[in-house]
Structure 1
Amino acid sequence: MQKLRIAVTMGDPAGIGPEITAKLFLLPEIYKNASVTVIGDLTTMIDTQRRVSNKLSIRPVTSFNEKMTKGVINLFDMKLIKYGEVPLGVETKKGGKAQYHYVKKAIESALKGEVDAIVTAPINKHALHMAGIMYPGHTEILAKETGVKNFGMMLMCPQLKVMLVTTHTSLKSVSGLLTVKKVLEKIELAHTAMKDDFGIKAPRIAVLGLNPHSGEAGAFGDEEIKIITPAIKAAQKKGINAQGPYPPDTIFGKLIHKQSHDIAVCMYHDQGLIPLKLIGFESGVNVTLGLPIVRTSPDHGTAYDIAGTNIASVESMLTAFKTAVVIAQNRMKNR
C-alpha cells in the first residue's frame, strides 16, 4: 500500500503540543504507513527536541514528500516565532497567531492534495482570541477554511465513539439549539463516517435523549417527543439504522461493555465527553466529520501547567495519528 503523507501541526507553542509532537518520532509505529511532516516553528521545535531526547534531530523541509529517517523530525518551518518570543505556559498574542497559521497551512496543503491527512496538536482558544482570531476552536476553523456548512465533532477512544449535536455552548442553551434538522444531520454524519471512514458496512447508531429517562413520555421534558424521535424516524426512512432515544444514564454501559452500537449521538458536550474521558482520558481522539479532508487531534488541551516538564503523555497523540491513518486508508479504498 502507498505510504500516506501526514501533516502534524505542533499546536500552541506555549503548551505541550510541541512536546507530544516530538515524542511521536520516538515511536516506531509512525514510520510504518506514512511520511510525516511537522508544521510549526524551528525555534520552538529545537528547544523541544533538546528537552525530549538526544536521539532526535530536526531537518527543515520545503515539501511534504521528503523521505523519513528514524529519529529525524521533518519540519516545515513557518518562521513565525523568534527565539524567546513565546514563553512556555503563557498565553500570548504571538502564540495565538502562530498556532492559527500552522492549522491554516495544514488545511491548505490537504485541500491541494499535498497531504492525505492532518493531525493537529492542541491550541489555546484564549490565545487565538488575543490575536484577534475569534474562533471557538479547531473545528470551526476547519469548517470555515474548507467551506463546509454541515460538519460535526466526533470523539472516540478504543471502547466508545460519540457524536455531539451541540458542542461548546451553555447547558441552558442546549434545548433551544436542538432541531429535527440538526439532530438528523448529526445522525447522517455519524452513519457516513462509520461506513466510509471506519469500514463498518451496516452501522448501528444509538441516539440519546436530552432529559432524565429520555423525558419519561413528556413528564421531564418534551424534546424527545418533538425533536429527537422525529429525527430518528427521518433517518430510518433514509435507510439508517438509528435507534432511540435512549436514556443517557443506562445506554453507555451497553455501548462500552456489550458493544450494542457503533456510535452514540449525544445532545450536548458533557453527555458524551464524561463517559468517554472516564474510560479513555489518555487515548481520546477528536475527529472532525463532514470535511473533504481527514483531520484528527488528541482529545486534551494545551496543559500549560506541565509545559516544558517533559511529562506529557503521547498516548492520545499517537492514537490520533493511528486514527488518521485508518481514515485516510479507508477513504482511498472508496475513491
Structure 2
Amino acid sequence: MCLHMMNRVDLAEEGTFDGIGVRIFKPTTPSKELRAGVVYIHGGGWTLLSVDGYDRFTRALAKKTQAIVVSIDYRLAPEHVFPAAFDDCVKATKYFMKNAAAFGVDSSKIGVAGDSAGGNLAMAVSLYFGKENIKPKLNFQGLIYPALQAMDYNLSSYREFDMSMRNTYTPVTKTTMIHYYNLYGFGGDQYVEYFKENTHTTRETKKKYRKLIDPSHLTWKYQMVPDDDNSEENLEIANKVANVILNPYFAPLMATDEELKLLPKTYLITAEYDGLRDEGMILGHRLRRINHPLNYKHWDGVEHGFMIYSFYDSYKSGLEHLSSYIKEVST
C-alpha cells in the first residue's frame, strides 16, 4: 500500500494514492461496519486553491456524513494542462476504490463529488468509470454548480453575468470562465478573444452539438433561440481547439445521452447568480429526459461558491442537503 502517513491532525491524514496527494478525513466516532466513502475534488477554475482551502468544508462533510472523505490535491493549470487534473483524479479514485477496505470503507458505497471545476472533474471521472466499465462502480456523483461546457458562451446566464451592472453578483462570469477554460485546456490566453466572440467553434459544430447544449431545455425565463446558421466562425482557431473542447472528459456536457446513461446516480446543485447556472440546468433536463436517477436542487438568491462560504446561512443548509443525500444513498 502506497499510503504515506504524516502530520496527523484531528480527523485528517495526509497521504498519496498512486502518487497523487490526498487528504483523508476520518470520523472519530467508532463504527463496527464499513463506512461510506466520498472522493471530493475541489474547485478553483483548475488553476487555484487546494485541499487546504477546502479543509473546513471537507472536514465538516466527513463529520456530517460519518463517511471517509478523500480530498484530492490534483495538479493545477496552466503549468499542467488537460488532461493532467483529470488523470490525477481518475488515478486517486481508482486507488481508493481498490483499497477501500484498508480504510474501513465499503467499496460499493464510494461516490465522487466536487464543486465548480471540481464538479467538472467529478463528472469526468464518473464518465470514465462508466465508459471503461470499471469495477466496483461508483455509488453516486455529486455535482455542485459544475462547469460543464466550453462550446457556447451565449447562454443566458453568461450574458446576464457579463454585464458590468450584474457581474458583482457572482465570481463566475463569461469572461472569468473563458480565462479558466483556456488556462486549463491550452495553458495560456492565446484563444481567449475568439472564445469571447464565440467564434472558436464553426457553424457546423454548433449545429451538430446543439442538442447537447440546447437552451430550450431551460426554465422559460432563461430560454433563448440560438442563431447557429448565422453565427461567426474562425476556422483556423476552431480546428485548433475542437479536439479539446468537444472531449467529454474536458467538457462533460458534450457526452451523448448513451454516455450519460452510464453515470452513477446523480446529485446536482445550481445557483441563481452564477454564469454556470444554465449549463447545470441543461444537464438536469437531459438526465431527467433519459430517466436517470437524479436529485436536483436549484438554489434561488445565492451566488456561485455559496457551498464553501461558511459565513452564509446557505452554507449550512447546503451542507446539510448534500450530507443527507450521501447518507441516504449509502444505506
State the TM-score, normalizing by the size of structure 1. 0.29
Question: Radius of gyration: which is bigger?
Answer: 1
Higher RCO (CA < 8 A, seq sep 6+): 1
TM-score by length of 2: 0.29
